[in-house]
Amino acid sequence: MRLFTTIAGLRCYLGLHRQGKNVGFVPTMGALHAGHISLIEGARSHNDIVIVSIFVNPLQFGPSEDFQQYPRSLEQDRQLCQQARVDAIFAPSAEELYGSGTGDWGLEIGVARLPIPDSQSPISTTVLPPENMTSVLCGRFRPGHFQGVATVVTKLLNLVQPNNAYFGEKDAQQLAIIRRLVADLNWSIKIVGCPIVREASGLALSSRNQYLTLEQKEQASVLYRSLQQAKKAFQSGDRDRAILIDTVQQEIAIVPEVQIEYIELVHPTTLMRLEKFEEAGLLAIAARLGSTRLIDNVVLRDRQPIVAIDGPAGAGKSTVARQVAKSLGLLYLDTGAMYRALTWLVLESGIRVDDEPSIAELASRSQIQLSTGDDPQITTRVWINDHDVTFAIRSLEVTAMVSAIAAQPYVRQELVKQQQRWGLKGGIVAEGRDIATHVFPDAELKIFLTASVHERAQRRQQDLKNQQQPNVSLVQLEQDIQERDTRDSTRVVAPLQKAADAILIETDGLGIAEVTARIVSLYHQKLSVSR
């Protein structure tokens, strides 16, 4: 693992090593804990190169905040990063990052020759996200904070130019603002939100927890309990803003040492105050315990569940997914049909299959609709730009072309966006290679369906026989499957992966009906636990 403290070192390293590889980036302020490590692990499992930055950004601290006291533990952080297989740490000084042309920061030698710039007196170009996102929630109490965050994140993203950047959902307002920043500036960087990591008591991990005594940590766990109470109220049907906020308030009131700064219910993407609950709400709290400021939140979602099934080719995913959807009365999100519909449109439009830019344009303008048909023979009806293509997408021309089009990164990006729009409403079963890890990481039930190479080869041989195709030897089929597995797990676009929280079902010796029944039963178990 490398440690760089200069922009020159980092740039040179990336210039030498990136060459077509995926770069994952985790920006932090150091004093690393298990929350940060979960972000790093996320980055490690999806990228070839992982960069972590450690930088206590003065621009995001107010003049009376804890910039000087903020915990700094570079040596320990270095060891943790090494254990987590980080490739390089970028730990610049404030002077290195913001430049000395505008004055000497005096921080590195401990002598404040000039006032330390902070969120009130920035001395560099400042990035200003929309005011309606920065002046609410924590922004009301920390003027200039999110401008400081947006400025440093912009600089770091420009330096690292990652494919994926990882942020914690604990800082939900920060995450929403960064998503907006990246969208507004048209960066093709994927911002990945990672779930909150908590102590056994429920207290969200934070570098600032170091300021708390053991007793205070116990007291602080009331924040999590209060959010859980509100979640319970929500799950039993309460949608009223006042009731949800009041539930949190009453629970926190049990611990008088915890002083509420705010309790708010906002839209998780726009951060607009929610008067009436729509499909999702972010219930967020900031509170003080002594001089320590703590934040926590929960996202409440009013949507039908999602079942995500991944697994290697030949494990029976699509047949099982159709059956599961039918048994549960959910929509089978036929992603294959979506790629076929786009292929049909490409052919209709007379665009050459290798004209990727034109296909990207077409994909970004297309609207695909799916619905469960009344006809039991048709599992899914498919429209693209209002053309009913349910039958047309099964033609030989489309079949011959679809895999070449599905392999184009922009096509995939666009169709994943459309799939995720379905995810907002939920009520779907979807299958693929990275449905649970990438497309619907918040699916209620994640299944990884697999079978031994031998079993899959036998099934394939049986399929060929049923279709009256020429016989292929078992040895040959096994070799083909093995090669396909290697290709699918190592491909750059959408590699096959098992989500950490997916349930593995080994289907050797099991029929479709048995596998379906098992998934349906897991679904009912999961839902009865989470309700």
Interacting residue ranges for ligand AMP, rule: CB under 6 A: 28-29, 35-36, 38-39, 167-168, 170-171, 194, 196-197, 204-207
- If the CB atoms of residues 196 and 324 are measured against ligand AMP, the closer one turns out to be 196
Q: How far is the CB of 409 from ligand AMP (least distance, A)?
A: 26
Per DSSP, 428 falls in state E
- If the CB atoms of residues 10 and 191 are measured against ligand AMP, the closer one turns out to be 191
- CA distance to 317, 324, 372, 507, per residue, from 515 (Å): 10, 9, 22, 7
Q: How far is the CB of 194 from ligand AMP (least distance, A)?
A: 5
- If the CB atoms of residues 153 and 515 are measured against ligand AMP, the closer one turns out to be 153
Active site residues: 36
CA distance 382 to 389: 6
Cβ-based neighbours of 242, under 8 Å, separated by 6 or more: none
Tokens of 473: 């030897």
Residue 454: φ, ψ to 5°: -60, -50
Residue located via tokens 């099991």: 510
Q: How far is the CB of 198 from ligand AMP (least distance, A)?
A: 7
The SS3 call for residue 223 is: helix
Angle at CA 233, nearest 5°, toward 228 and 236?
A: 125
CA distance 273 to 526: 31
- If the CB atoms of residues 197 and 331 are measured against ligand AMP, the closer one turns out to be 197
Tokens of 284: 């967020």
CA distance 148 to 55: 13
- If the CB atoms of residues 192 and 405 are measured against ligand AMP, the closer one turns out to be 192
CA distance 500 to 271: 30
- If the CB atoms of residues 28 and 419 are measured against ligand AMP, the closer one turns out to be 28
Q: How far is the CB of 109 from ligand AMP (least distance, A)?
A: 24
**Are residues 296 and 283 in contact, defined by beta-carbon separation less than 8 angstroms?**
no
Q: How far is the CB of 514 from ligand AMP (least distance, A)?
A: 38
**Are residues 382 and 337 in contact, defined by beta-carbon separation less than 8 angstroms?**
yes
* Position of minimal CB gap to ligand AMP: 168
Q: How far is the CB of 148 from ligand AMP (least distance, A)?
A: 12
- CA distance to 281, 308, 413, 473, per residue, from 420 (Å): 17, 12, 11, 40
CA distance 431 to 438: 12
